[in-house]
Structure 1
């Protein structure tokens, strides 16, 4: 089940640019936002109707203060990274944004320590396995998908591809992610999560390094080997990280753990986009004026062609992408090593239980079944 879920989750992240390209060429770019409305309404309705756990427990209250504080932290740190790309790391807007984000994080910790029904039980952070899963989730989406907006801009505004064709170039990643997710969920059920998640992140990092070989004369085919590696890594991480989050905490905290790891994945994606943009523009400033670098990174290559040569624009954007991809590769490699060090092998190995019975899987066994397996 987690394999199928991972295939849908990982595949959707890469299919999005293709569908976005079709909407952009068809009814217009605004529909990339409108299309989410009916999808979200249908998803909420189906969840409330067919997923009993979504109704929650009577007496549980939403931790509104914690939600607002964490949103302030996430928004503040992401905006600070964006401002660093615009104004520099030592600029006043950047430092103020970082300070506000830190203040929001302190407020979040204080609220979670005192509220009756916390958004996140901070005691879970004492578990190395849970910390490892959270770190892996944060890095996963940022490393695997954070640079995609800028790859899309490069393909369309520099290489001259249409939005749909630019999205189709990501199919090697999509196909690999979907196939590997299904196979991993089915065939690697007994493999420790630290190996699938940690190994997957190492593959994603390696895939980013393989893409960081762009030059002024490169085309989209240069990306294919790296995209395939990122897709294989995504196929290993996406299903494994969900199961690892559940296995790292007590059964009654499973929903909290699942929500937390999905939240840090989305935060990781936002930070990945922001960091990629900052690194990209900073590197392009080595060969272009600051204003021109920001214009080029924002898709304004057409407006610069009368001022700069085609070769200069291609070389500048390629060097910026290379720097962003190397940064992603380093983060992915470091995150993979951290997961391998922190995430345990699962209850089955620790207790000598049967291969293939993970901690999360063991919770589904009845007392009689547990006794027979014991």
Structure 2
């Protein structure tokens, strides 16, 4: 609705009033602890930001510029420097952003990998589906959003129900089962052809939504259960970070897969400059290609690209689900009081 009524930039501006309200509520409802607060790990934060930003940029741009291009390789090198600096800082700082020893816990690592795979498999193909709906099928932003409602609606309902019905259920079954549903639902979306409409995606989106509704709340609980109590904040922050990285990587990787398949389809149809045309098509420039290829060719190429990307995302989801069933385990963290050098629970007025 924001995109259609105002401008696409409003999807970013809308965060500002939400943030203002969140800050106001925090200052009003939470009193500072009387104990010494942990020091902010500014150096670790800066190093990780460099790593995350460079990695994301490199992966996103690699699809267009090439994975072996000088810019991509240089950006990955910057990311490696950022990661090395982050590890060095975290080993020495008194109050690290995250305790690196947590990554020695198999269950913690399994939860982080599940978070990465979850956002990649469930949402990595979604931007290209949205582009297909609007530029190939000619739907408005609002109608395209409504076409994706089966995923959002089922996720909303299942997330609410699972918190009540599956409270206390083993995390590996909730997360693993949810990822298997996401993988199966995404595979079920790989059924498009040149004549397909939005309804062809409905069943697969709904199945994926059930999986999203299970995994999204389950990941947070599994992350907290995989570490000692005093590291709960670190675990919660880490799983959210891995989820965001998973989305960025998924969009980039599956977009590269989709563009490669579109290139082959356009090349087989005799379109000149098939690689450039494929990137234009995947980026929403179907209208600009009308003079170089027929609508039938463009629809067939886009459908083949989406099918290949959805199949890759579905397989990733299935493999992640199997891995979660095997490696995510219940907490082995010792029970007991929170240590004195950790943040205390918030007090409300």
Same fold at TM > 0.5: yes
- Higher mean C-alpha displacement, 279-288 vs 158-167: 279-288
C-alpha deviation, 1:81, in angstroms: 1.8
Tell me what 2:310 maps to. Answer: 325
Tell me what 1:229 maps to. Answer: 207
Q: Distance in 2 between matches of 1:332 and 1:303?
A: 34
C-alpha deviation, 1:344, in angstroms: 0.8
Contact 2:265 2:304 in 1 (8 A): no
Q: Distance in 2 between matches of 1:277 and 1:32?
A: 21
Tell me the secondary structure at the aligned position of residue 214 of structure 1.
coil
Contact 2:60 2:251 in 1 (8 A): no
Write the deviation string for residues 255-288 of structure 1: whole angstroms up to 9, x where unpaired: 1111111111111111111112211212111133
Contact 1:72 1:104 in 2 (8 A): yes
1:295-334 mapped onto 2 (5 Å cutoff): 295-334=280-319
Structure 2 stretches lacking a partner, 5+ long: 267-273, 338-349
RMSD: 2.0
Write the deviation string for residues 292-340 of structure 1: whole angstroms up to 9, x where unpaired: 1111111111111122100110011111111111121122112112211
- Higher mean C-alpha displacement, 257-266 vs 44-53: 44-53
Write the deviation string for residues 188-215 of structure 1: whole angstroms up to 9, x where unpaired: 1121001101111111011111101111
Structure 1 stretches lacking a partner, 5+ long: 1-21, 348-358, 365-374
Is 1:37 the counterpart of 2:22? The answer is no
Q: TM-score, normalised by structure 2?
A: 0.90
Q: In 2 relative to 1, CA 69–269 (structure 1 residues): closer, same or farther, beyond 3 Å?
A: same
Question: What is the aligned residue count?
Answer: 330
Q: Distance in 1 between matches of 2:211 and 2:287?
A: 35
Is 1:187 the counterpart of 2:165? The answer is yes
Q: Distance in 1 between matches of 2:37 and 2:277?
A: 56
Tell me what 1:76 maps to. Answer: 54
Q: Distance in 2 between matches of 1:328 and 1:107?
A: 32
More helix by share: 1
Misfit runs of 4+, over 3 Å = none
Contact 2:90 2:99 in 1 (8 A): yes
C-alpha deviation, 1:170, in angstroms: 1.1
- Higher mean C-alpha displacement, 27-36 vs 312-321: 27-36
Is 1:62 the counterpart of 2:40? The answer is yes
